[in-house]
Structure 1
Amino acid sequence: MKMEKSHDDMVNDNMINNDNINDYIIKATAAGGKIRAFACTSKNTCEKARSIHNTSPVATAAFGRLLSAGLMMGSMMKSGRDLLTLRINGDGPLGGILVSADSLGHVKGYLFNPVVIIPANSKGKLDVAKAVGNGILSVISDIGMKEPYVGQTQLVSGEIAEDLAYYYAASEQIPSSVALGVLMDRDNTVKAAGGFIIQLMPIEKEDEASDIIYILEKRIARLEPVTTLLSSEKTPEDILEMLLYDMELEINEKIDAGFSCNCSRQRTKKALISIGRKDLQDLAQEGDTELSCHFCNKKYVFKSSELKEILSGGI
């Protein structure tokens, strides 16, 4: 059993201006709880990430897909302190992508190689699959236990949406449809982004489960790309309504979303301390030290005198 779909468009000159629409995630159920569904619009999140990391168009598309997935999958976490990390390690020119999200709509991330220029694919679209390549998808859930739960699967396409759908089927035995998209404008800014995740919960009657999957697969196959829908003023609620309109769809929660980094000077100082006394002594002798946050690129400068003061604290 599987339900899969991935969309990604490159350019649309006739898009509406949705700059003032806030990003958010919708959590819903349908069919009396037999289906759970998530949808998001993430244009501003992806544009902020693009601006911070100065990503090329194909890198923006790949990054934006994983950020959108992170928002929705993070919203599945139960506690505001739980953290979800999605990591892709591929042999394509991107090298890898890491995204971290919580249940409150906060997401951040970075790419190993943010500037990748490759030809479009055979359909004239940004070639995310080639940029990502073959490799591993890791899903890391930190729910406050001694060790986080780590699930890993092979990338089946590099398109990210299909890879996540495969992860859910293979690692968690949850039939899922995952659709993700990023639409770029001519000036290489993000004009629309978002996606949905539809999942079938365990059902005792196999015939009932098969019927639901059959209906959903037909509807998903006919659905326009998510960026086409979002750019024509469709909302995440509208998208779920199009798929689940006759299945007692219930919108349970709406969560504001955005790119958010919780780095600070104090956290960076702790990272410095963790490198050990000898390495810190070497840095202090070299002079001032500048550290940058991988997620938001914010820079923190520690003067040599500050490093010596840390050392005098007895680390």
Structure 2
Amino acid sequence: MGDYLVKALAYNGQVRAYAVRSTDTVGEAQRRHYTWPTASAALGRAMTATVMMGAMLTDDNKLTVKIEGGGPIGHILVDSNAKGEVRGYVSNPQTHFDLNAHGKLDVRRAVGTDGTLSVVKDIGLRDYFTGQVPIISGELGEDFTYYFSTSEQTPSAVGVGVLVNPDNSILAAGGFIIQLMPGTEDETISKIEKRLSEIPPISKQIEKGLSPEDILLEVLGKEEIKFLEKMPVSFTCTCSKERFGNAIIGLGKKEIQAMIDEDGQAEAHCHFCNEKYLYSIEELVAFKDESK
């Protein structure tokens, strides 16, 4: 089963819901960045939440989430769009600690709790939408929940989880977002809160083989849910040798000549996917000729 995301409505349209299996997507990030378990869990949770937020957008709209909690992992940066494409990285990918008191990866310690979670949405307008909230937990699920309720005034429940194998590869990753629409009945809220308190952690559900549809059925109940859409999810980066080449051209003739004189080549590195692109002296000379 490949990674995918589902969108649904429940309780006669009172509730909007998303769920995703992101195991392969987070696994690709782990392989590209050589993340250690605690860093994998932090990055994976952030990517899982962000890809669901991207699915709330339309057309060519996209968003960027930045998490700066002051912890040893540094900042986490994740991009996503309305097509289920996501990419991300952490400043210090080789961050790991002993399990916390609950026997789980200590994401809070890695992320920190002294900082902010920021969301910038590019929705095709001249000005970007920007929302920012303080980090209240460092576990990230609670922090995204707080972001939705505070910055977007949408009461939500966000569950994200990542399990890591002994060899550092990703065993399971996934998540859900449940959002209450204006006018949701108190009885509906009580039912959802009860179910959320009873279900196992999201990563355990993924490990057991539950699909995104199964996860939402667990949270919302079989009789109350209507599935609307299913879309593939993947780690996708927009970088390319041509794109970086255009950036070099934009530096101007003087800067390019300095590259030629000092190194005889140039290397570009994409933080998001960890790809490196090497440019020969011949390519740099051509760039210089194109440059203004």
Report the TM-score when normalising by structure 1.
Answer: 0.88
- Structure 2: gaps (5+ residues): none
> Pairwise mapping of residues 1-315 of structure 1 onto structure 2 (< 5 A)?
21-79=1-59, 81-133=60-112, 134-203=114-183, 209-245=185-221, 248-286=224-262, 287-315=264-292
Contact 2:145 2:157 in 1 (8 A): yes
Contact 1:285 1:304 in 2 (8 A): no
Question: What is the Cα deviation at residue 36 of structure 1?
Answer: 0.2
* Secondary structure of the structure 2 residue equivalent to 1:32: coil
Identity of aligned residues (%): 43
Report the TM-score when normalising by structure 2.
Answer: 0.95
Partners of 1:94 and 1:277 in 2: CA distance: 38
* Secondary structure of the structure 1 residue equivalent to 2:6: strand
Residues 92-121 of structure 1: CA distance to partner in whole angstroms, max 9, x if unpaired?
011011111111111111111111122321
Contact 2:135 2:143 in 1 (8 A): yes
- Structure 1: gaps (5+ residues): 1-20
RCO higher in structure (CA 8 A, sep ≥6): 1
Read off the aligned partner of 2:166 and give its amino acid letter.
R
Question: What is the Cα deviation at residue 227 of structure 1?
Answer: 1.4
Task: Give me the CA root mean square deviation.
Answer: 1.4
Contact 2:5 2:233 in 1 (8 A): yes
Partners of 1:154 and 1:274 in 2: CA distance: 37
Contact 2:70 2:115 in 1 (8 A): yes
Contact 1:178 1:196 in 2 (8 A): yes
Contact 2:248 2:287 in 1 (8 A): no
Question: What is the Cα deviation at residue 246 of structure 1?
Answer: 5.6
Question: What is the Cα deviation at residue 262 of structure 1?
Answer: 2.0
Question: What is the Cα deviation at residue 275 of structure 1?
Answer: 3.5
Question: What is the Cα deviation at residue 247 of structure 1?
Answer: 5.6
Higher alpha-carbon deviation: 158-167 or 112-121: 112-121
Contact 1:39 1:240 in 2 (8 A): yes
How many pairs were matched up? 290
Residues 47-95 of structure 1: CA distance to partner in whole angstroms, max 9, x if unpaired?
111000000000000011011112111111011x111111111210110
Q: 1:214 to 1:275 in 2, by over 3 A?
A: farther
